[in-house]
Amino acid sequence: MHLGDEFPVLGNWFYIHFVENPGMAFGMEFGGDWGKLALSLFRIIAVFGIGYYLFKLAKDAHKGFKICVALIFAGAIGNIIDSAFYGLIFNESFNQIASFMPAEGGYASFLHGRVVDMFWFPLFEGNFPEWMPIWGGEHFLFFRPVFNVADAAISIGIALIFMFNKRFFNKDEQKVEFETEESIETK
């Protein structure tokens, strides 16, 4: 599969679309090689922080919240592994099919590789109405980002935390739950 190739999976609303993402979310980059290194190091530090936080949550937090943090943790590790090693084990895929473990080596050094994104859901497209300020008459495609499994895990974990934050962080409910467990243990 070549960079930018796509093939439909379910009609015209779900495609496998091969993209190598050189930066962070939605392909944003900063600072060239030094920026990529800083981003990779930040990701590693963040994963250690999230891992430590998840370890500390082991007893006291709501089970659903722990699952959400674990999704974020796993997704972050997946993206780190991809950016750390993909450039080492594959050659450049621009206008060609990348080779695994090429004799001349990969296209990037450790922590400077790209993250492979492949899922694309262009749900609908059209033109903004002419009367709309700023974007009037311009073409739009709803849900343009191409993403991978790790991105989906991170996004789902964060979305669920926002959706269920009252349940995850409700002190009164947790206190009642704790008191109920305590009364059962004393009997």
Give the active site residues: 117, 151
Pairing of strands 124-127, 14-21: unpaired
Cα angle 150-155-160, degrees, rounded to a multiple of 5: 130
Report the 10 Å Cβ neighbour count for 148. Answer: 18
Cα angle 150-156-159, degrees, rounded to a multiple of 5: 140
Residues 6+ apart with CB under 8 A from 50: 69, 72, 73, 76
